[in-house]
Amino acid sequence: QVQLVESGGGLVQAGGSLRLSCAASGLTFSMSSMAWFRQAPGKEREFVAHITWNGGTTYYADSVKGRFTISRDNAKNTVYLQMNSLKPDDTAVYYCAGKHTLATTYGYWGQGTQVTVSS
């Protein structure tokens, strides 16, 4: 059974930083692409960042480029999202997602962690 467990969310002032973690189990993590998505109240879930199985390639939504950094530690089966210069618009529930590197869609999702940025 695949489990993705996010942690690290919380309340932070605008301009501050948070680091989210996602611990994975039940999948071959080293062969999995991982990503972060977010969903703000009243909005659809949106892509935030993606990292390939070996960490060699990363992609970011334009809205977070230059402020957020996705990384992974395959020895710990964990993916991270370092979020700097946070803005109130970054307030959302952040979800970790995973898929086999050859799969086309993300089939595994965490339960989400709340990030709230106050102005």
- Summarize pLDDT for 63-96 with one digit per residue, the tens: 999 999 999 999 999 999 999 999 999 999 999 9
- Minimal CA–CA distance to 68: which of 36, 98, 41? 36
Residue 57 DSSP class = -
Mean pLDDT of the chain: 96
Burial 81-112 (b: 16+ CB within 10 A, else e): bebeebeeebbbbbbbbbbeeeeeebebbbeb
Q: Confidence class of residue 11 from pLDDT cuts 50, 70 and 90?
A: very high
The per-residue pLDDT for 29 is 93
Q: Confidence class of residue 50 from pLDDT cuts 50, 70 and 90?
A: very high
